[in-house]
Amino acid sequence: MTVSVLYSVLLLVSLGGLAAVVLYFVSKKFYVYENPLIAEVEEILPAANCAGCSSPGCKSFAEKLVNTDDISDLFCPVGGNDVMKQVADILGKNVAEKDPTVAVLRCQGACDIRPKTTEFEGPRTCAITAMVYGGETDCQYGCLGDGDCVNVCKFNAMYMDESTGLPVIITDKCTSCGACVEACPRDIIEMRPKNKRDLKIFVGCLNEDKGGIAKKSCEVACIGCSKCEDVCPKDAITMFNNLAYIDPVLCTLCRKCVPVCPTHSIIETNFPPPKVKIEKEEKKSIPKPTAIKEGILQPINLKTDA
Instruction: Closer to another protein by CB, 113 or 127: give it.
Output: 127
Give the chain's length. Answer: 306
Told to check if 122 binds another protein by CB under 8 A, we report yes
Instruction: Closer to another protein by CB, 135 or 295: give it.
Output: 135
Q: Which of 153, 162, 55, 59 is nearest to 102 (CA)?
A: 153
Instruction: Closer to another protein by CB, 126 or 267: give it.
Output: 126
Told to check if 240 binds another protein by CB under 8 A, we report no
Q: Name the one range near another protein by CB under 8 A: 71-79, 93-101, 132-140, 243-251.
A: 132-140
Pick one of 68, 123, 156, 230: the residue that binds another protein (CB under 8 A). Answer: 123
Q: Minimum distance between the CB of residue 262 and another protein, rounded to whole angstroms? A: 23
DSSP string over 67-136: H-S--TT---TTTHHHHHHHHHHHHT--------EEEEE-----TTTS-B-S---S---HHHHHHH-S-S
Residues in region 44-83 near another protein by CB under 8 A: none
Q: How far apart are CA 25 and CA 32, in angstroms?
A: 13
Residues in region 195-214 near another protein by CB under 8 A: 209
Told to check if 134 binds another protein by CB under 8 A, we report yes
Residues in region 90-119 near another protein by CB under 8 A: 117-118
Told to check if 187 binds another protein by CB under 8 A, we report no
DSSP state of 295: I
**C-beta contacts of 232-239 below 8 A and 24+ residues apart:** 232/256, 232/257
Q: Minimum distance between the CB of residue 135 and another protein, rounded to whole angstroms? A: 8
Q: How far apart are CA 140 and CA 129, in angstroms?
A: 11
Told to check if 6 binds another protein by CB under 8 A, we report no
DSSP string over 137-194: BS-SSS---S-HHHHH-SSS-EEEETTTTEEEE-TTT-----HHHHH-TT--EEEEE-
Pick one of 7, 24, 25, 133: the residue that binds another protein (CB under 8 A). Answer: 133
Instruction: Closer to another protein by CB, 135 or 204: give it.
Output: 135
Q: How far apart are CA 227 and CA 218, in angstroms?
A: 19
Q: Name the one range near another protein by CB under 8 A: 9-17, 96-104, 121-129, 252-260.
A: 121-129
- With contacts defined by CB under 8 A, how many residues of the chain interact with another protein? 13
CA dihedral for 89, 93, 98, 102, sign (positive or negative): negative
- Under the rule (CB under 8 A), what is the footprint of another protein? 117-118, 121-123, 127-128, 131-134, 140, 209
